Structure 1
Amino acid sequence: MGMIMKTHLPVRWTCCVMLLIAAALCSCASSGSRIEAPAGADAEGAGAPPTQMITEQLILAEKQQRERRANQDLSHLVVAEPPPYKIGPGDILAIVVWDHPELAGHGMIASSINVDAGTPGAPAPGFVVDYEGKVQFPFAGSLRLSGLTEEQARNLLVSRLARYIAQPNVTLRVQSYRSNRIYIDGEVREPGLQAINDIPMTLLEALNRAGGLQPTADQSRIALERDKKRYDIDLRDLVQKGVNPGNVLLLNGDVVRVHSRDESKVFVSGEVVSPKALTMHNGRLSLNEALGESGGISPLTGDARQVYVVRKAPEGTRIFQLDARQTGALAMAEAFELHPKDLVYVAASPLANWHRSLSLLFPGALTQAVGAARP
């Protein structure tokens, strides 16, 4: 009797396990692993956002929406011929009246730091433009030079001195530029304040003075803040449109920030070979590239029919699904561009879900059943 029990006990255990396996397999096959609305959600999908299949029509609609966002009016920022520098409050002027050296010693000594001086804190001799934009000069009196170019300011001074000096020969130039500044921050080598001088302060000039872009800089996300307005500049997009970034003129008070590529990551998880966070390539990353850089869909546990993209949009969460087993799916995956902070998720196959569920219910049951069934 003892021998009989030893002989039939594995068979009974095998039958029970097989019945549980069949029930679990039927349950998993019927339910699958699709993203569905939870119980109690209404017909309009109030509980979970609807899933949109990735098709050629959806890709075209996404492309048109992306182009509308990129078509920000930057025409007033682009200047073909930058205007000459205009004198402003705080500037220090060097004024020389030839054959009249007695007029050269009446300039005021600047008490603040000279931005362009080689020695920090070294005062620059010259005529300081006061906060009202005026300069006091012998015989000429008070001159309003703010808003004038060097040539216009020289002509005004000559006309005043002509009342007392016959044919005055005057040289006037800006010795220290202190009235206009911009600030550049972010992924540049030398962030900080930059003084606007006689060389036009364009976007490329500002980036060059800041030492250039860091390797981690995102050329597609350069923010320009001016007068409480924000402009998003994509250097690559400007070049593709035939706009020279060197013609984007910066003005006094502008703030330029170069964002990092680490701020625009895409997260790939689920049944892929190597789940990871991916960095976008200057604002560009397709679904196909994201899957490829993650090693692709796992051939053992991944379900190629259920590749999801979860996106947080202003109107709410959006979910896109790609059936990678369809004809032309790879071409659609290459054309589907991801957004920063997108989540790419590959669901598990029904067989993988069944195996995991069984392993949780009966740890080692499948291995024992297969071993018991062997002769």
Structure 2
Amino acid sequence: MTRTAASLLIVALLAGCSTLPRDGPSGRNVVQGASSPERAGDYALIDLDFALSERLKAAPPPSFSSLALASSDAPTDIIGIGDTLAVSVYEPGGGLFSGMGTTTATSGAQMLPPLVVGRTGAVPIPFAGEVNVQGLTPSQAAAAVRRALIGKVANPQVIVTIGANASNAVTVLGDVRNPGRQPLSSNLDRLLDVIAAAGGPSRSLYDIDVRIQRDDKVYTAPLSIVTTEFNENVRLQRGDQVNLVHKPRRFSSFGAFNAVARSELPSGPLTLSEALSGVGGLDSNLANARSVLIFRFERPEVAQALGIQQAPTSRGVPVVYRLNLNEAEGFFIASNFQMQPDDIIYAPRAGAAEMRKFFEFVQSMTRVVYDVSVTSTLNR
């Protein structure tokens, strides 16, 4: 039994060098997998210096899809089915409407009870019957009612207003405090108007995309852009669906840190030094401070400006930025390097930490052999 255990130990030690578990790849493995003049790797490995961090900060902001094409000039006071109208009729001679108990007379003007536009698109007008008002503006509806009353009322004057707007509305969904239908009016028909009427966004505006769906078209832009660019605060039209979609901006940290976490990006810029302190900093007993790595899918135009020749993927150009925090300059660079959404910070283990872990593994296997030997002796 002792010889069997010893054989298992030898096999385990021989395999240990290649199968010893890690939190992630070693710094050497990262270097070996990068592109070089001799071979094309899966990513570009770039050593960070202060000049490079300045060039990254100076890069133009990413371009976003625009809502400008969604702006509509369609009127927002068109009468539709379900609208409630307030109709006032002024008859100079008086008498015809004044005898109706359902009207209110004020200085010669008779106000009819609230009239709801029915499924046929018409409203009932006393002495005139059903008058079609669907698709008309209030002034056009007043003219239609007046024409229907001619011959029954001497020179009637009619005023029509929309009391409750049911058809000129948009639907606001997603990350707003009060989702639902929001009416449009001539001075409250812009995107930010209806979002504010719905209680405003329930999350940070930097983590929200706005989507406007109209018929079979969808328009999208970040809410932060809508609040800063006037032409993005577009006019809406009846029937639009506005959806505020939560799109969190996060970065992750792996490896030899005091805390491994997925963290939210704040509303403003976040530097690498702030990100490192937010996760507790490097583990001084394990981390290789000479090789702090930031994995990023860089925008193709930024990679081209930096002279990176790595082929882009559907998400961007895969780049690994490497920073040496064993040098004092590294901390100045870290305080100037700005984090981006979906960045991954990785700190590989130092060689001494890997060696210590290896010897702990050997010690644990040696203990197994010792226990087997003692058990075998006692059994004999």
| TM-score (normalizing by structure 2) | 0.64
CA distance in 2, matches of 1:143, 1:290: 67
CA distance in 2, matches of 1:311, 1:268: 12
Identity of paired residues, percent? 24
What 5-or-longer segments of structure 2 have no aligned partner? 1-12, 18-25, 104-112, 298-312, 367-380
Cα shift at 1:35 = 0.9
* Number of the residue aligned with 2:251: 266
Contact 2:54 2:336 in 1 (8 A): yes
* Number of the residue aligned with 1:175: 163
Cα shift at 1:208 = 3.0
Relative contact order (C-alpha < 8 Å, sep 6+): which is higher? 2
Aligned-partner residue type, residue 343 of structure 2: D
Task: Pick one of 31, 35, 43 that aligns with 2:30.
Answer: 35
Contact 1:218 1:260 in 2 (8 A): no
Task: Pick one of 88, 92, 96 that aligns with 2:84.
Answer: 92
Cα shift at 1:188 = 2.6
SS at match of 1:305: coil
* Number of the residue aligned with 1:223: 210
- Are residues 1:202 and 2:190 paired? yes
* Number of the residue aligned with 1:257: 243
* Number of the residue aligned with 1:192: 180
* Number of the residue aligned with 1:342: 343
Per-residue CA distance 1:55-99 (angstroms, 9 max, x = gap): 65577468646432x3x33334568x9965222233232323234
SS at match of 1:158: helix
Change (3 A) 1:90 1:304: same
Cα shift at 1:260 = 4.1
Cα shift at 1:292 = 2.1
CA distance in 2, matches of 1:222, 1:283: 17
* Number of the residue aligned with 2:66: 73
Change (3 A) 1:336 1:239: farther
Cα shift at 1:37 = 4.7
Change (3 A) 1:57 1:145: farther
* Number of the residue aligned with 2:44: 50
Moved more, 49-58 or 296-305: 49-58
Per-residue CA distance 1:148-199 (angstroms, 9 max, x = gap): 4323432443355446533312121113222133222333322233333566
Contact 2:295 2:318 in 1 (8 A): yes
Aligned-partner residue type, residue 67 of structure 1: P
Aligned-partner residue type, residue 176 of structure 2: V
Task: Pick one of 95, 108, 115 that aligns with 1:126.
Answer: 115
Per-residue CA distance 1:187-236 (angstroms, 9 max, x = gap): 3322233333566143333333333333x44444232222321312333x
CA distance in 2, matches of 1:233, 1:163: 58
Change (3 A) 1:337 1:61: closer
Change (3 A) 1:63 1:211: same
Aligned-partner residue type, residue 229 of structure 1: V
* Number of the residue aligned with 2:322: 322
* Number of the residue aligned with 1:355: 356
SS at match of 1:273: coil
CA distance in 1, matches of 2:138, 2:292: 65
Change (3 A) 1:217 1:317: same
Cα shift at 1:345 = 1.1
Task: Pick one of 149, 155, 165 that aligns with 2:153.
Answer: 165
Moved more, 279-288 or 134-143: 134-143
- Are residues 1:280 and 2:268 paired? no
| TM-score (normalizing by structure 1) | 0.65
* Number of the residue aligned with 2:107: none
Change (3 A) 1:103 1:210: farther
- Are residues 1:101 and 2:97 paired? yes
Task: Pick one of 258, 261, 284 that aligns with 1:299.
Answer: 284
CA distance in 1, matches of 2:56, 2:69: 29
CA distance in 2, matches of 1:152, 1:205: 27
Per-residue CA distance 1:242-280 (angstroms, 9 max, x = gap): x398x543333333333447x333211212222212112
Change (3 A) 1:198 1:316: closer
Change (3 A) 1:322 1:37: closer
CA distance in 1, matches of 2:44, 2:318: 7
Change (3 A) 1:177 1:319: same
SS at match of 1:86: coil
